[in-house]
Amino acid sequence: MSDIQFDRICLIGIGLIGSSIAHDLRRLSLTREIVVADHGAAALKRAEELRLGDRYLASAADAVRDADLVIVCVPVGASEAVAKEIAGSLKPGAIVTDVGSTKASVIAQMQPHMPDNVNFIPGHPLAGTEKSGPDAGFPGLFEGRWCIFTPLPGTNEDALRKLRRFWETLGSKVDEMDAEHHDKVLAIVSHLPHLIAYNIVGTADDLETVTESEVIKYSASGFRDFTRLAASDPTMWRDVCLHNRDAILEMLARFSEDLAYLQRAIRWGEGDKIFDLFTRTRAIRRSIVQAGQDVDAPDFGRPHGLEKK
Ligand code: NAP
């Protein structure tokens, strides 16, 4: 089946997200040419070995020439450098989008450099794994997942419709919201859980009374789930922390207050409070399963067919 919406698509940054898009572009025959750009020679070479594109370039400026759709797939902290690099070479009428996990900062970094004759539409696919690099990508990553656009006022409706259709062809459900709201929502559903995971695994690593071999040996009991999140790419997550600072600090403050409440309930033996909280949280889990965002399988969901890798 061929559903060509863009003659030439340029992917800047060929890591987990960029390579997953490349796999889908091929699988679904969505373009005539895939141009891959990455500043890392090793990533470019690997992308070529995996045949993720048709051309491979170190220069993003050269790669975007005549591209109808440009998808920026770099860590959010690199957005401004990429925007500056490509600004002078973009095709008039091109759509420029991104996949960054934070949106207000990406807009602040990119928008000032975007020429008036291109359509800049910030986006964020809510799909991923803890892996990174060109080998981490796989076809179908975005199937059944949300992709959130945070369009700027005055965005061209045709371009928006085209990009929406593109992500829907990859299997995503598309939603729109403003960037500040996106950053708050993501701070609680994604950024805070990763920070808690990084912190708990760091705490276990620092413990002197429990040896590292015991932490690894007995990790089946809850800790293991945190280690998966805590294995996520350090560059990407450093950038998320620095570029969604306000929303993350707000969520961390609320989290600390709630943790103190739980701590107090445990200290004073207030079983009812503890039981009420745990009952409320169990209902949230049920709602997530009912919404089709996970399956109701035991052993913390593994392996259950949702994870592709
Ligand atoms: P990744 O696997 O680390 O890939 C990023 C690639 O971009 C790397 O090859 C990196 O090269 C390259 N790069 C960095 N700066 C560049 C620049 N200035 N010019 C050209 N290439 C550059 O990261 P990812 O997981 O695909 O994440 C990419 C974006 O998607 C991030 O903004 C992230 O927030 C977002 N996202 C990630 C997930 C997830 O679960 N991973 C989910 C949704 C959205 P070097 O490594 O050599 O610097």
Domain count, the chain: 2
1 occurs within a structural domain: no
Query: Same structural domain for residues 185 and 173?
Result: no
Q: Out of 129, 153, 177, pick the residue that ends a domain.
A: 177
Domain that holds residue 100: 6-177
> Which residue type is seen at 60?
A
Query: Same structural domain for residues 281 and 295?
Result: yes
- Rounded to the nearest angstrom, the distance between the alpha carbon of 224 and the centre of ligand 1 is 25
Distance, CA of 118 to CA of 279 (rounded, Å): 50
Q: Out of 142, 157, 177, pick the residue that ends a domain.
A: 177
Q: What is the mean pLDDT of residues 70-83?
A: 98
CATH code of the domain covering residue 82: 3.40.50.720
Q: Which two tokens stand for residue 248?
A: 């993350």
**pLDDT tens-digit series, residues 208-240:** 777 777 878 777 768 888 999 999 999 999 999
Query: Same structural domain for residues 135 and 13?
Result: yes
15 lines ligand 1 (CB under 6 A): yes
Long-range contacts of 225-232 (CB under 8 A, 24+ apart): 225/300, 226/196, 226/197, 226/200, 226/201, 227/197, 227/201, 228/130, 228/197, 229/130, 229/193, 229/194, 229/197, 229/198, 230/194, 230/197, 230/198, 230/200, 230/201, 230/202, 231/130, 232/130, 232/132, 232/194
Q: Which residue's CA lies nearest to atom 14 of ligand 1?
A: 74
Query: Same structural domain for residues 264 and 138?
Result: no
- Rounded to the nearest angstrom, the distance between the alpha carbon of 16 and the centre of ligand 1 is 7
124 occurs within a structural domain: yes
Query: Same structural domain for residues 150 and 44?
Result: yes
Model confidence at 299, pLDDT cuts 50, 70, 90, reads low
Q: Out of 152, 177, 202, pick the residue that ends a domain.
A: 177
Q: Which of 45, 50, 73 to mutate to test the pocket of ligand 1 (most atoms within 8 A of CB)?
A: 73
pTM equals: 0.93
**pLDDT tens-digit series, residues 150-195:** 999 999 999 999 999 999 999 999 999 999 999 999 999 999 999 9
> Which residue type is seen at 31?
T
Q: What is the mean pLDDT of residues 14-26?
A: 98
